[in-house]
Structure 1
């Protein structure tokens, strides 16, 4: 029997627990600034998934980007960096970038970052953000670990609160560099080389040289240019950008061990690959019917958000259409114009298509893609094999990983012919092992203790709760490069060995002379 006294004690305990829960949640409701500047719709798709999740948790999130939220939600505020897309698209030809060498592509990416950051700082949005610093503070700043590093200057402007890095761009070398993650180019391919984790001698040499080139180019080419932009905007009172980024508590990278090769990872490098993927939603009625009626199956074709299909050269476009007309499958093509000249009967186009939801349809048998990371992850999540046509950056690496896993084939855009394109499509469609292996890879990709978005939210709130995560900081960040590589220790050891060998040489030489002289004396006495 529960006595009134005991009942009162239980009630008090419940009220105290409820009060504590409320206080903890109020304390966790943080003011967050997100500097996600890269003018790329795919980056925005990945970034916004985290921002909207944080806003839904009750945090106030201010997002600085060129992509305003189309459907405003509570706790979410946009500061728009206007004009970035227009400036970038006028300056860069993504189709031409497919012909560049990996070294040229690296420099192009850094130049792209300079032009992007220059336009961003010249925008009204950047001035609006600077004005905000007069009367607003933030509990956390989230920065995009991409190529717009001039925006790191806003961190000291807002009092240097804890900082988290995020990147939709797999795990580029600089993402690990800023938290001191070890470099292992002997078996971890750099971000844009299409190698596996089992490289031959020449691949390891190429990988090591390009990896070093990327880091040196960023340190001595890219960052000085970003520093110049920052100095012009903020004045020279802010610390160097290379010092600011050392205070990043952790970086969340868009990788997962099912697709990406195993690598050393410090606790401050958090894998959250595929955090943008959501459960599939109902398709628009016309697309649903088109795919439902595809008795022979369907092919989905999209070149992503940066490369526009309607800007392909006429000969490439016609070659693609001629190839599609030879297949019994229906084709759904992301085509950015109102009409498609020479459109075959089995091809349907759309300016915008819900990619992940389309890939979830059971009749979609093949995804022809530019091999962007988000597209690759969505194909894996839904178990659809791929034919990749890479253009730039990590796209070459992404499709090579699919090839190594036996779930896709590659076609080089520059040398693509009707025969090679047809052959790749036919091979993947009519070889059951591609689908079988992709279904198996999909199971591995989905099999996690929590969703990647839940992981990302947890670590974001972890950094807020502990006012940073400096206990995760690697001591490697405090070492000079020669100390990190143990060159000082190696040089001392080599010097010691040389001195020992030299001393041994002179001792042996001396002993030899003594022994030789003694033998001569003994020999002379005998005579």
Structure 2
């Protein structure tokens, strides 16, 4: 991995926290973002017949099987049942208990096209990067319920940018999920921040997919040796500055070591004088006797 000529990272500078990057680390966040295609008649009818309060999309991707987490699914179903909006939930399997009359379960939906629709009020997700980028691209407030890996960091960025709300598994309750949904849809600060971030996210010099293609083409033509940092050629002790740390440690400890030996010598000299005096006094006393 150290000799990889180029890395393409699914991060975007408008959303992710700032970080130092080497020339061979190229951010291409937003690869999946694009303008929406027209919805099919089926989805147009669903949206047209939905609540006047709008629609909430819910999706946890293909890696998380909610059928294996019945308690979580039931808790989320009850929270969604309390909002006035129509809920379209990407869900496979038996319907969870507590499902509200406002919730429609589908095994799949055109996520990008639906997020672009003006009736979408919020997007509930586990916090996977591509889904977040799509929501940001279309300017939809986000509620993140993270499970693992990068989802915790992504949810923290959502909270930090004030473009939505997150609810961690350790604090998951029906009331907190409901409150997060209401806040995400009604807080004007979240709405304004998401709108501004969406404009910034779209304002690229080139689409991330095109940028990735250009970088790959560059590496194929010229290889990537000129992009790789010299740090990969350092020894372990150089990379972790062990030699520098040892030198500084010696410089720091040297004055204390010298002071210690000086005090030790002074103490020895101070102890020798009384011994000589006592010895000479004892010898004189023995002669007198």
Matched, 1:252 2:8: yes
Matched, 1:299 2:56: yes
CA contact (8 A) 2:163 2:191 kept: yes
Counterpart for residue 472 of structure 1 = 227
**Structure 2 gap segments, 5+ residues each:** 267-289
Distance in structure 1 (CA, Å) of the matches to 2:97 and 2:261:
86
Counterpart for residue 282 of structure 2 = none
Give TM-score scaled by structure 2 length: 0.83
Tell me the SS of whatever aligns to 1:299.
strand
RMSD: 2.7
Deviation of the 1:292 alpha carbon: 3.2
Distance 1:265 1:447, change over 3 A: same
**Superposed counterparts of 1:254-293, under 5 Å:** 254-293=10-49
Deviation of the 1:319 alpha carbon: 3.4
CA contact (8 A) 2:120 2:140 kept: yes
Tell me the SS of whatever aligns to 2:113.
helix
Deviation of the 1:293 alpha carbon: 3.7
Deviations 1:83-102, CA, capped at 9 Å, x for gaps? xxxxxxxxxxxxxxxxxxxx
CA contact (8 A) 2:158 2:166 kept: no
Deviation of the 1:412 alpha carbon: 3.0
Counterpart for residue 389 of structure 1 = 145
Distance 1:341 1:420, change over 3 A: closer
Deviations 1:55-88, CA, capped at 9 Å, x for gaps? xxxxxxxxxxxxxxxxxxxxxxxxxxxxxxxxxx
CA contact (8 A) 2:32 2:134 kept: no
Distance in structure 1 (CA, Å) of the matches to 2:256 and 2:75:
70
CA contact (8 A) 2:77 2:96 kept: no
Tell me the SS of whatever aligns to 2:2.
helix
Counterpart for residue 214 of structure 2 = 458
Tell me the SS of whatever aligns to 2:179.
helix
Distance 1:417 1:494, change over 3 A: closer
Tell me the SS of whatever aligns to 2:5.
strand
Matched, 1:361 2:114: no
Deviation of the 1:248 alpha carbon: 0.8
CA contact (8 A) 1:292 1:363 kept: no
Deviations 1:268-296, CA, capped at 9 Å, x for gaps? 11111111222211122211222234321
Tell me the SS of whatever aligns to 1:249.
coil
CA contact (8 A) 2:163 2:194 kept: yes
Residue number among 73, 82, 104 corresponding to 1:348 in the alignment: 104
Distance in structure 1 (CA, Å) of the matches to 2:101 and 2:40:
20
Distance in structure 2 (CA, Å) of the matches to 1:340 and 1:282:
31
Distance 1:510 1:376, change over 3 A: same
Distance in structure 2 (CA, Å) of the matches to 1:272 and 1:303:
23
Counterpart for residue 284 of structure 2 = none
Tell me the SS of whatever aligns to 1:322.
helix
Counterpart for residue 184 of structure 2 = 428
Counterpart for residue 136 of structure 2 = 380
Counterpart for residue 447 of structure 1 = 203
Counterpart for residue 210 of structure 1 = none
Give TM-score scaled by structure 1 length: 0.47
**Structure 1 gap segments, 5+ residues each:** 1-244, 512-527
Distance in structure 1 (CA, Å) of the matches to 2:253 and 2:91:
68
CA contact (8 A) 1:291 1:364 kept: no
Distance in structure 1 (CA, Å) of the matches to 2:209 and 2:178:
38
Higher-Rg member (1/2): 2
Distance in structure 2 (CA, Å) of the matches to 1:248 and 1:510:
59
CA contact (8 A) 2:66 2:72 kept: no
Deviation of the 1:449 alpha carbon: 0.9
Deviations 1:213-266, CA, capped at 9 Å, x for gaps? xxxxxxxxxxxxxxxxxxxxxxxxxxxxxxxx2221111111112111111111
Distance in structure 1 (CA, Å) of the matches to 2:179 and 2:74:
17
Deviations 1:164-202, CA, capped at 9 Å, x for gaps? xxxxxxxxxxxxxxxxxxxxxxxxxxxxxxxxxxxxxxx
Distance in structure 2 (CA, Å) of the matches to 1:497 and 1:304:
55
Distance in structure 2 (CA, Å) of the matches to 1:496 and 1:426:
60
